[in-house]
């Protein structure tokens, strides 16, 4: 089943061509440089950048795939997939014939930045109308969940589904623990009451003058301090019996620590600060997952979202599941941790199997779209 998927919920303009769980072609245009100096996503800039790039991103996704196959008049989707090496480039006319072979158009409907989501949805509707294709609306968070099952074009990794799973989504906008019962069946068990985990890292990095996004630079500095915890910042909600998170208290205490100790050499040791702060965030995540395993007796974890690019956190979660003789799965390729359309295409495949299509006229963005709405 060939699906072209579009994702514009935040600061990545992305499209992908998928066949079931396989990614045939994937293009991500990141706006990070654009937003860097604002220390976060600047909505009107994001909207304009999505509008400027969306056509190119979709065309490039198709071109990348169809330039690798010979587009004969007898070509079927299967023969296109099976044919081998690149022979020659295809022009726009041939590409348009390519899109004709696609079964469905998928798009992120939410949650996310409204003005950004609208750009992708508009493009998806346009394509659906022009080529008479059905639309599949995907929740961005179910995309992050399915990111752990995305395969490359050769069908690797071969990872079978074995439900149920505990899914953890940790990104710049979300921190959620979800019971993933079966395909397209979710129950939110816990979520953040304020800042998301990635946002907490981004805000601390900003206070330290490290720029945006903060996660990768905090990871590097923390590893240079051997990921040790020097200052023991607070771990909010750690001892509550529910699975919700809160990171804003930690952020505030970090702010006051910096302010109070601004004259001392302690505060100048940015590695110790980054390492201790990251330890507080990750400790909280691991403790909540520990509680989730105990409460649900599910020891198979999947983790998606930008923060799981962090190798130290991966190690902590591997140690956690070892305690329960369980398993933890991460997205197999780095590009799948951040926002991308490949995960949207794969989630859409499982929705198509259940005939969960959307009507083009009523498909609208839903900025605060919870997985509980399923
Ligand atoms: O999934 P994502 O690309 O976008 C959202 O849906 O929000 O996640 C972005 C977040 C940012 O907060 C960024 O700082 C964080 O993921 N991040 C990391 C790392 N790489 C990105 N956090 C910790 N360690 C990393 N290596
Ligand atoms: Zn995301």
361/343 same-domain check:
yes
Overall average pLDDT of the 324-350 stretch: 97
75 — pLDDT class (breaks 50, 70, 90): very low
In the prediction, which pLDDT does 180 show?
97
Report yes or no on 283 lying in a domain.
Answer: yes
d(Cα 207, Cα 224) in Å, to the nearest integer? 19
Report the distance separating Cα 142 and Cα 154, nearest Å. Answer: 23
CA distance 326 to 302: 11
- Same domain, yes or no: 148 and 98: yes
Residues with CB under 5 A from ligand 2 (ion): 171, 339
Q: Tell me what pLDDT residue 89 has.
A: 46
The domain of 193 spans 165-331
Judgement on whether residues 8 and 51 belong to the same structural domain of the protein: yes
- pLDDT tens digits for 234-281? 998 888 889 999 999 999 999 999 998 877 776 679 999 999 999 999
What residues form DSSP beta bridges with 25? 17
- pLDDT category, 5, cuts 50, 70, 90? very high
Query: Which ligand is nearest the CA of 247, by number?
Result: 1
On whether residue 201 sits in a domain, the answer given is yes
Query: Is the domain of 34 the same as that of 59?
Result: yes
Ligand 1 pocket, mutate which of 307, 314, 343 (most atoms under 8 A from CB): 307
Contacts of 263 (CB under 8 A, 6+ apart): none
pLDDT at residue 88 is higher than 60 = no
Q: Tell me, in angstroms, the distance from the centre of ligand 2 to residue 3's CA.
A: 20
Q: How confident is the model at residue 93 (pLDDT cuts 50, 70, 90)?
A: low
User: Is the domain of 341 the same as that of 325?
Assistant: no
CA-nearest residue, atom 16 of ligand 1: 306
In 3D space, the residue among 202, 295, 287 whose CA is nearest the CA of residue 236 turns out to be 287
Does 18 have pLDDT greater than 50? yes
Count Cα neighbours of 163 within 13 Å in the Cβ-side half-sphere: 11
Pocket of ligand 1 (CB under 6 A): 10, 171-173, 198-199, 201-202, 213-216, 219, 305-307, 309-310, 338-339
Closest ligand 1 atom to 144 CA: 1
User: Which residue would you say has higher pLDDT here, 325 or 86?
Assistant: 325
User: Tens digit of pLDDT for each residue in 284-314?
Assistant: 999 999 999 999 999 999 999 999 999 999 9
At 148 the pLDDT is 98
Band of pLDDT at residue 374, cut at 50, 70 and 90: low
Q: Quick check: is 159 in a domain? A: no
Average pLDDT over residues 55-80: 69
The residues near 317 (Cβ < 8 Å, ≥ 6 apart) are: 286, 289, 301, 303, 328
Separation between Cα atoms, residue 30 and residue 52, nearest integer Å: 12
**pLDDT tens across 275-284, in order?**
999 999 999 9
Nearest ligand, CA 171: 1
Mean pLDDT value across residues 25-41: 82
CATH number for position 78: 3.30.420.40
Q: How crowded is residue 194: how many other Cβ atoms within 10 Å of its Cβ?
A: 16
Q: How many whole angstroms separate alpha carbon 105 and alpha carbon 345?
A: 8
More confident residue, 82 or 209: 209
* Ligand 1 atom nearest 339 alpha carbon: 3
Residues 272 and 368 in one domain: no
* Within-domain flag for 289: yes
Q: What is the CA(68)–ligand 1 centre distance, in A?
A: 32
DSSP structure string for 12-49: EEEEEEEETTEEEEEEEEE-HHHHHTTTS--HHHHHHH
User: Which residue, judged by its Cα, is nearest atom 14 of ligand 1?
Assistant: 215
The answer to whether 134 and 128 have CB atoms below 8 angstroms apart is yes
Question: Residue 38 C-alpha to ligand 1 middle, in angstroms?
Answer: 16
**Distance of CA 211 to CAs 49, 289, 335, Å?**
20, 29, 21
Residue 78 reports pLDDT greater than 80? no
User: Which range is least confidently modeled, 91-100, 164-173, 301-310?
Assistant: 91-100
CB-based contact 332:23 (threshold 8 Å):
no
Same domain, 76 and 184: no
Candidates 323, 313, 293, 3; CA nearest to 146 is 3
In the prediction, which pLDDT does 309 show? 97
157 against 86, higher pLDDT:
157
Task: Give domain status of residue 160, yes or no.
Answer: no
Alpha-helix runs per DSSP H in the chain: 32-36, 43-66, 77-82, 92-100, 114-131, 140-146, 197-207, 215-224, 248-260, 265-268, 270-296, 311-323, 342-353
Query: CA-CA-CA-CA torsion for 289, 316, 36, 254, nearest 10 degrees?
Result: 80
The total of other beta-carbon atoms located within 10 Å of residue 315's CB is 12
Do residue 200 and residue 326 come from a single domain? yes
- What ligand is nearest to the CA atom of residue 306? 1
pLDDT of residue 70: 46
What gap in Å lies between CA 179 and CA 164, rounded to an integer? 7
Q: Report the chain's mean pLDDT, rounded to a whole number.
A: 90
Residue with tokens 């941790």: 337
pLDDT band for position 90 (50/70/90)?
very low
Specify the pTM.
0.91
Residues 7 and 140 in one domain: yes
Structural Rg of the chain based on CA atoms:
21
pLDDT score at 72: 43
In a domain, 212, yes or no: yes
Identify whether residues 285 and 172 lie together within a single domain. yes
Answer yes or no: is 306 within a domain: yes
Report how many domains make up the chain.
Answer: 2
Q: Are 147 and 172 in a shared domain?
A: no
Average pLDDT over residues 20-30: 96
How many A from CA of 218 to the centre of ligand 1? 11
Nearest CA to ligand 1 atom 13: 215
Are 198 and 68 in the same domain? no
């Amino acid at each position: 089943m060939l699906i072209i998927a579009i994702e514009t919920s935040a600061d990545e303009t992305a499209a992908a061509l998928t066949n079931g769980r396989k990614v045939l072609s994937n293009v991500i245009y990141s706006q990070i440089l654009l937003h860097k100096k604002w220390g976060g996503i600047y909505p009107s800039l994001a909207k304009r950048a999505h509008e400027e790039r969306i056509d190119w991103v979709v065309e490039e996704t198709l071109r990348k795939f169809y330039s690798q196959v010979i587009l004969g008049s007898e070509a079927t989707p299967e023969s296109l997939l099976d044919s081998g090496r690149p022979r020659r480039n295809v022009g726009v006319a041939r590409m348009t014939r390519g899109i004709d072979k696609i079964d469905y158009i998928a798009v992120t409907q939410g949650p996310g930045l409204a003005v950004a989501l609208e750009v992708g949805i508009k493009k998806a509707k346009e394509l659906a109308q022009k080529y008479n294709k059905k639309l599949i609306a995907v929740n961005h968070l179910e995309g992050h969940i399915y990111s752990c099952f995305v395969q490359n074009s050769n069908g690797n990794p071969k990872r079978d589904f074995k439900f149920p799973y505990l899914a953890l989504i940790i990104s710049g906008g979300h921190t959620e623990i979800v019971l993933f019962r079966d395909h397209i069946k979710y129950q939110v068990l816990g979520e953040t009451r304020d800042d998301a985990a990635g946002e907490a890292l981004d805000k601390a990095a900003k206070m330290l003058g490290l720029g945006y996004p903060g996660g990768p630079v905090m990871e590097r500095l923390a590893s240079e301090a051997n990921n040790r915890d020097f200052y023991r910042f607070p771990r909010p909600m750690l001892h509550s019996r529910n699975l919700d998170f809160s990171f804003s208290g930690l952020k505030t205490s970090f702010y006051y620590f910096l302010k109070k100790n601004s004259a001392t050499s302690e505060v100048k040791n940015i590695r110790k600060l980054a390492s201790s702060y990251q330890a507080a965030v990750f400790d909280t995540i691991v403790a909540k997952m520990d509680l989730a395993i105990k409460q649900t007796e599910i020891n198979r974890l999947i983790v998606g979202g930008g923060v799981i690019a962090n190798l130290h956190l991966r190690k902590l979660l591997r140690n956690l599941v070892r305690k329960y003789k369980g398993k933890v799965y991460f997205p197999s390729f780095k590009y799948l941790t951040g926002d991308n359309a490949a995960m949207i295409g794969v989630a859409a495949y499982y929705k198509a199997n259940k005939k969960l299509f959307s009507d083009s006229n009523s498909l609208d963005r839903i900025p605060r779209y919870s997985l509980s709405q399923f």
